Amino acid sequence: MAETQRLTVVDALRGFAILSIMLLHNIEHFDLYHFPDYLPQWMKAIDSIIWDSLFFLFGGKSYAIFALLFGLTYAIQFYNQQQRGHDFSGRFLWRLLLLLMFGIFNSIFYEGDILAIYAAVGILLVPFRKLSNQVVLIAAILLMLQPLEWGKLVYILTQPEYTEPASRANIYFAKIGDYLMHGNFWEAAKGNLINGRSAALYWSLENGRFFQTGALFLLGFLLGRTHKFSPTPGNKLFWQKALLMAALAFLPLYLLKEALPATDIRPALVSRLQLIITSWSNFSFMAVLTAGFVLLFEQTFVRKALNRLSPLGRMSLTNYVMQSIAGSFIYYGYGLGMYAYTGATLSLAIGIVLALLQTLFSSWWFRTHQRGPLEQIWHRLTWL
């Protein structure tokens, strides 16, 4: 019974992450950052509020939840195979290669795909599979500290004349509008696979996403190994403490991040410090969302509502790719071209409609199937 409830809360939490990712992608026009100038001022004001609110709530946090649960899933898979006397590591590496293929396919429609990055960073989980909880935790903390950025920070301090170089990611991002606004499907697909993937890769490198993702994979693996999502009194206390500590950490980190640009510190130092502190701030708020969700799920009167997200989470791979296909057609020039007509408010409304349709489709699908469409393909190919 405990195992069933644990899996249900994990599915619902993953569904929550997919839903919030959907809403963010829509107001961003799936990375096609163009917003109509002809909208009235009152609409632009509402757009600004919606944009700021959604990014405050979900920007950098939804993907973090997704990454955390990726590590958790690996822990469950490794444990299940270990109970049968099998080592899952080789099969998991094959599974990551399959995920890379899904990521390349998804990149045809949306250059900001994270599946390919997960496939690369996921290799990190294999060497930690038999190490102690303490070692896994220490490694996760070291990665979350953003060691590369601290190295850059020390270098900048020793070089008074150093100035921040231009972003490599922005060089590629500047070209995106040409083919997403005016190109046909094949031109957009080629641009996404070559220019777009380069932009996403450099953006991830420049914003510490690889280190943060690795840390979240390991923390999720640790949560799965210690069964923290099981509904026990001890785990309830764990999530209550996590919620309190994360909330207390988030406020000063967020205020410091916002205050840094107004200081007299060298711009190059501010840039590094902001990256590090933003990473920690997002992690803290992600922990608030995760712990709050788990605690709310234990309340009977709330669980029924939150559990409606479970079908979304059970077929998260399918839903993630489906939203890329649908969103690119809605907003890009080769489709409906809605990038030219919608601000954040209308895009949010479109996102809500798409989320409802995905929820209905997921619920309908599971009436007759055990896994989502892409999940079934992934499962069958994993166990060839």
Which two three-digit tokens encode residue 260?
Answer: 């840094």
Q: How many CA atoms within 13 Å lie on the side-chain side of 170?
A: 4
Helices then strands, counting H and E runs in the chain, come out as 19, 0
What does the pLDDT look like over 303-327, one tens digit per residue?
999 999 999 999 999 999 999 999 9
Q: What is the pLDDT of residue 264?
A: 86
What does the pLDDT look like over 221-234, one tens digit per residue?
999 999 999 989 99
Which two three-digit tokens encode residue 347?
Answer: 């895009």
Mean pLDDT of all residues in 296-301: 91
Reported residue count of the chain is 384
**pTM for the predicted model, two decimal places:** 0.94
Considering only residues 39 and 360, tell me which one the structure prediction assigns the higher pLDDT: 360
Mean pLDDT of all residues in 287-310: 94
Q: What is the pLDDT of residue 163?
A: 86
Domain assignment of residue 39, given as a range: 2-382
Burial 24-50 (b: 16+ CB within 10 A, else e): bbbbbbbbbeebeeebeeeebebbeeb
* Confidence label for 368 from pLDDT (cuts 50, 70 and 90): very high
Q: Please tell me the total count of domains within the chain.
A: 1
Which two three-digit tokens encode residue 198?
Answer: 């380069």
Give CA separation, 68 vs 1, 35, 152, 364, in Å: 23, 33, 27, 27
Mean pLDDT of all residues in 347-360: 97
Q: 160: part of which helix (H) or strand (E)?
A: none
Give CA separation, 329 vs 108, 155, 194, 326, 357, in Å: 12, 45, 19, 5, 16
* Confidence label for 5 from pLDDT (cuts 50, 70 and 90): very low
Q: What is the pLDDT of residue 165?
A: 87
Q: Which residues contact 272 (CB under 8 A, 6 or more apart)?
A: 149, 152, 153, 156
